[in-house]
Structure 1
């Protein structure tokens, strides 16, 4: 990866245009789905902006296509001859729901392309090479780190070739997810639960096991206060049938989908979700499902809400990981620590007999072997 500075071949006007393209890419905020956020700015030979465009999500025109269309509408096609395209991501070289952007730039008469992040998608990459082979002056890796920050989950998913998995867990101080008598509701505070709904809203899939469905009958939807877009896909992993009356078996009024993954193999489950264009899975199942993903090496991030309470007994946060000695312990690096203080912003939660106390939210990632 390059550093977050302009490459030596980038001109000042192009670097400025690239920062503008990043602003455009972020226009609609977080956009979930199989496609990244991308922005494009077209410059004339003097470095003056001709037109701009950005991608609005899967199935819509790519940023380059939008910018080219805007330029033709504003100044006509001839103005693009000899122009420069500045893009946050390497122009694609494949035909999917839309045509290849690299070819569209060639057809428009673009003579120079400056882009930030090489495309990590093995299906779409190659646009830079295609443009160079056609005689276009190509400058790559300008402000690459800043561009990667636009699409951190998408980029990681492309590199992994599977959805990124975030395990969310709420526990007591001694690592219990419920009391011994089965009363497990509201270990954490209303403010923590509201924050967890915002976490759900940032993922395109919420995954639990059939055991959680039978025991808790969850809805796995994002509460209205945290909802900023479509509901995530509700996914259930396990071979047994869902109870016909369960909330996951009966679609809610907003048409939120439920996908039943009839397998006990986390790899198979993620393969199916990848094929369904899912890129970020929030793992919310119980100890058994969490342990299965840990043993398979498929947990990329942990978000743990810890409440200041001791239970002494009750279900564990995670099942058997096969660890028999301290040297085999699963070790994680703390990425972020946030104090979640009591809030009055969500009265529906406050009225539901939950604790009103300060919790701690930990964000962690598995430690990489050196």
Structure 2
């Protein structure tokens, strides 16, 4: 995941360096925002060295504006640790007078807050009220711990230890690392089959479904090779190696090249079935009569991988249908030696190309099916990875 850590001015700020290191060891990308007062307790240099990213400290720097909106959209998880009483109050009331609070107000991801303050401050009604406000906005508060405080008092208010924060997040987000030893090939997006230097045959795929699958698999520890056709959507995880291609032939070559070393392949790309037999080297000019273009079959990636598939490998295909959906999916499943196929239909509202959602059914080699309701493509990706994991478990019995 892309993890954004916000650090405020508390003596517990030193723990944030440990927290950043733990996230990085788990394979996550880390960026850091620090308030001005936080820099009195730990230097930005320490955090930038650990995270290998610039530490953001100001909304404005040397006459330029730091884009807090972009940073908020980048994050899959935002955790403010430590969070002082002052910063908690600013976040609760939307007082965006620093980079951290401005980014918090722009964030679209889950937000977690790890308070750190003295005993009496922690128990004060204003603090408790502000925490209730933050909870009402959907934020999660990581419980403080009991122990010796900076004032010398002993009681509640200590920021949770970094290891405990990681455990809390794993439990709350149901983060699993069950694919650590696996290597998975994923295809995504359309292919473009060139007619001439200007025009091509293509389709409306954005590649979102395949990219979500790649990211989910990577978040769960897999090493992912993403062979991606043209499109603007990019994988977020550092565990995803993206290979950009344009044509069906290029995608075929990359899949054949990498599949043998993979445990599984998930073929989510919308690959062209046909390509022009000849590509014009110059732009085709408009004529008085009709234009006829001869097409030839592209090489079938799923069939080729299904033919070469070893007993310990798993192969998942996709079927986007407009009619006779289930019959076509079952036929494709058997013909291409797939372990299961993900079926979606353009007849279902909110499914298919150019949507953030999808409605799918899984069709298995024994002909049984599993149907799902409409949900986000990220959640569909998680269902696909769960099913793939189950297939590996069944194979080891």
Q: Does the TM-score normalized on the shorter chain lie above 0.5? A: no
User: What TM-score do the two structures reach when normalised by structure 1?
Assistant: 0.29
Which structure is larger by alpha-carbon Rg, 1 or 2? 2
Higher relative contact order (CA 8 A, sep 6+): 1
TM-score, normalised to structure 2, is: 0.27
